[in-house]
C-alpha cells in the first residue's frame, strides 16, 4: 500500500519496494542463526489439491532461513495422508506432518479429555495449536510464522516480510500481523470491510473509547491469517476454536504483550485466495457464521474487561452498526469509481443486512451462554497437567512421519543418481 501512515497504536511497517528480496533474506539468514524460524502450514485436503499449494511449495523450496516446516493436516483420511507424504517430500527443509485424524494424535486428544482438558473442536485453531506444541516440544526454533495455504499469488517475499520484524533483534517485536489489500476487478474482503471495521467503530461509539477497541481498530486487516511471533507467545497464548480465531489471537496478544512490541507489516502487493459464500439464509455456515463467531469473541473479551451487555444494548448496537456500515459502502463506492473497479451496491447492502442480523444473533447467544466455546488451554497448562505430554507428542509425530522420512530419503537418493 503506497503510504507511510502510522495507523493507531500499533506500529505499521510498510512495503515501499525500495529494497530487494535478496537483501531481506540475507539479513534474515544471519539473524536466524540465533533466532531460528519454524513455519506452520495448516491445511485441508481441499487446499492440498487446490491451485495454490503447488506454487507455495515451489517458492518454499528456495527459502534457506526456515529451520522447520510443520504441516498441520486437518480432516485427512489415510489416503489423503499418504498423498501428503508424497506432496511435501520435495521440501529440503526439516519437514514434519501432523496427522490430526490419525490414531496416534487422536490418542493424545483422548488423553487430554481424560484429564478434563479439552483441545477444542476440529478446525484450523486446533491444528495450529498442536503444531505450536510440536515446535515447543522440539525446542529447535525461537520464532514461529504461520500463513494460509490457499494464497493463489504467493511468493516468498510474503514470508520474508512476515518473518523479518520478529527475527531481527534490532526491531525486537514479539508479534507481527500481516496485512494486504484484496483487489482484482473489484474489492473483496467483505467481512473485514463491511463487518469488522464498522462493527468495532459501532462498539466504540456506543460503549465509548476503550484501550482494547482502539487496539483492534489499529489493525488494517485484523482477519489476515498470516503472522509471526516469538515461540514463548505460543506457550502462553490460548487459542480460540471457532471462526473467531484471528480476532481471538489478537485478543490474547493484547493480554500478553506490550503494544510497543506488536506490529503489522504489509506483506504483498495484492492477495488472492478462495472466497467464502455469504450464506445469509443460513447462520451456521459461510461468512454469516464467521461474523457471528467474531462478534461473540469481541463481546466475550469486552465482558471480561467489565463491560455489561443487555438485550436492549444489542438493539442499539445493530442500529449504530447499520448506519456506519452504510457510510462505509459509500466510501468503498467512491474508492472503486476512481480506481475503475466494479462495484455491486446491491451485494454490498445484502452483506450489511446479513451482518446486522449476525450482531443480534451473536448477542442472543452471548447472553444465553457468555462463556461460549472455550479457548484451547495454553501449553503451560497442558504440561503442568501432563508433564510428559511434549514427549508423547514428539513420539506420535515421529511415528506417523517414519514413512515420510523414508519417502524423502528415497526421492533425494534418486535425485543424486540422476
When the pLDDT of each residue in the chain is averaged and rounded to a whole number, the result is: 93
- Give the least confident one: 171-185, 213-227, 402-416: 402-416
What percentage of the chain carries pLDDT values higher than 70?
A: 95
Length of the chain: 418
Dihedral of the alpha carbons of 255, 159, 67, 90, in degrees to the nearest 10 = 140
Q: Answer yes or no: is pLDDT of 75 > 70.
A: yes
HSE of 183 in the Cβ direction (CA atoms, 13 Å)? Answer: 14
Output the nine-digit C-alpha cell for 199.
462493527
Average pLDDT in the 118-147 region? 95
Q: What pLDDT is attached to residue 98?
A: 98
Closest CA to 164 of 89, 172, 124: 172
For the purposes of burial, counting CB atoms within 10 Å of the CB of 284, is it exposed (0-12), middle (13-18) or buried (19 or more)?
exposed
pLDDT tier, 408 (very low <50, low <70, confident <90, very high otherwise): low
Q: For residue 6, what pLDDT is reported?
A: 93
d(CA 219, CA 146): 18
3 pLDDT band, cuts 50/70/90, is confident
User: Looking at residues 175-180, what average pLDDT do you find?
Assistant: 96
Residue 372: the pLDDT is 79
Q: What is the average pLDDT across 314-341?
A: 98
Residues 280-305: tens digit of each pLDDT: 878 888 999 999 999 999 999 999 99
Q: How many CA atoms lie within 13 A of 250 on its CB side?
A: 26
Per residue in 225-234, pLDDT (tens digit) is 999 999 999 9
| Whether pLDDT at 260 is above 60 | yes
Spatial distance between the Cα atoms of 273 and 287, rounded to a whole number of angstroms: 15
Q: What is the dihedral of CA 81, 87, 88, 91, to 10 degrees?
A: 170
Q: Which whole number is the average pLDDT over 29-57?
A: 97
Confidence of residue 371 (pLDDT cuts 50, 70, 90): confident
Domain ranges of the chain: 11-410
User: Does residue 274 register a pLDDT over 70?
Assistant: no
Are 216 and 222 in contact by the 8 Å Cβ rule? The answer is: yes
Number of Cα atoms under 13 Å in the Cβ half of residue 16: 7
Residue 415 pLDDT more than 60? Answer: no
- Asked if 225 contacts 196 with a C-beta cutoff of 8 angstroms, the reply is no
CATH code that applies to domain 11-410: 3.90.550.10
Amino acid at each position: 500500500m503506497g503510504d507511510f501512515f502510522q495507523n493507531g497504536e500499533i506500529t505499521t511497517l510498510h512495503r515501499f519496494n525500495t529494497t530487494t528480496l535478496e537483501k531481506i533474506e540475507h539479513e534474515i539468514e544471519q539473524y536466524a542463526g540465533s533466532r531460528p524460524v519454524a513455519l506452520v502450514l495448516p491445511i485441508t485436503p481441499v487446499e492440498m489439491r487446490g491451485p495454490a499449494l503447488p506454487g507455495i511449495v515451489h517458492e518454499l523450496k528456495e527459502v534457506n532461513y526456515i529451520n522447520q516446516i510443520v504441516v498441520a493436516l486437518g480432516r485427512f483420511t489415510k489416503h489423503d495422508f499418504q498423498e501428503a507424504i508424497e506432496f511435501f517430500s520435495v521440501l529440503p527443509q526439516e519437514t514434519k506432518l501432523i496427522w490430526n485424524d490419525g490414531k496416534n494424535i487422536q490418542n493424545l486428544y483422548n488423553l487430554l479429555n481424560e484429564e478434563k482438558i479439552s483441545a477444542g473442536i476440529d478446525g484450523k485453531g486446533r491444528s495450529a495449536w498442536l503444531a505450536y506444541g510440536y515446535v515447543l516440544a522440539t525446542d529447535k526454533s525461537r520464532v514461529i510464522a504461520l500463513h494460509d495455504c490457499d494464497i493463489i499469488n504467493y511468493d516468498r517475499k510474503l514470508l520474508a516480510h512476515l518473518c523479518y520484524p520478529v527475527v531481527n533483534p534490532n526491531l525486537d517485536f514479539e508479534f507481527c500481523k500481516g496485512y494486504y489489500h484484496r483487489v482484482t476487478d473489484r474489492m473483496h474482503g467483505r467481512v473485514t470491510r463491511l463487518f469488522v471495521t464498522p462493527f468495532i467503530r459501532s462498539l466504540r461509539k456506543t460503549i465509548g473509547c476503550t484501550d482494547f477497541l482502539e487496539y483492534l481498530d489499529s489493525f488494517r486487516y485484523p482477519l489476515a491469517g498470516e503472522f509471526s511471533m516469538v515461540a514463548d507467545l505460543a506457550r502462553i497464548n490460548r487459542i480460540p476454536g471457532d471462526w473467531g480465531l484471528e480476532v481471538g489471537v489478537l485478543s490474547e496478544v493484547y493480554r500478553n504483550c506490550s503494544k510497543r512490541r506488536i506490529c503489522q507489516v504489509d506483506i504483498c502487493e495484492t492477495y488472492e485466495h478462495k472466497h467464502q459464500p455469504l450464506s445469509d439464509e443460513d447462520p451456521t455456515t459461510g461468512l454469516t457464521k464467521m461474523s457471528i463467531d467474531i462478534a461473540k469473541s469481541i463481546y466475550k473479551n469486552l465482558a471480561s474487561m467489565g463491560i455489561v451487555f443487555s438485550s436492549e444494548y444489542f438493539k442499539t448496537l445493530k442500529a449504530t452498526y447499520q448506519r456506519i456500515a452504510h457510510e462505509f459502502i459509500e466510501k468503498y463506492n467512491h474508492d472503486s469509481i476512481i480506481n475503475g473497479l466494479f462495484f455491486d451496491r446491491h451485494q454490498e447492502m445484502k452483506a450489511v443486512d446479513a451482518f446486522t442480523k449476525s450482531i443480534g444473533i451473536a448477542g442472543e447467544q452471548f447472553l444465553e451462554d457468555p462463556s461460549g466455546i472455550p479457548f484451547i488451554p495454553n501449553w503451560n497448562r497442558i504440561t503442568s497437567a501432563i508433564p510428559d505430554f511434549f514427549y508423547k507428542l514428539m513420539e506420535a509425530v515421529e511415528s506417523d512421519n517414519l514413512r515420510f522420512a523414508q519417502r524423502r530419503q528415497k526421492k533425494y537418493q534418486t535425485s543424486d543418481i540422476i
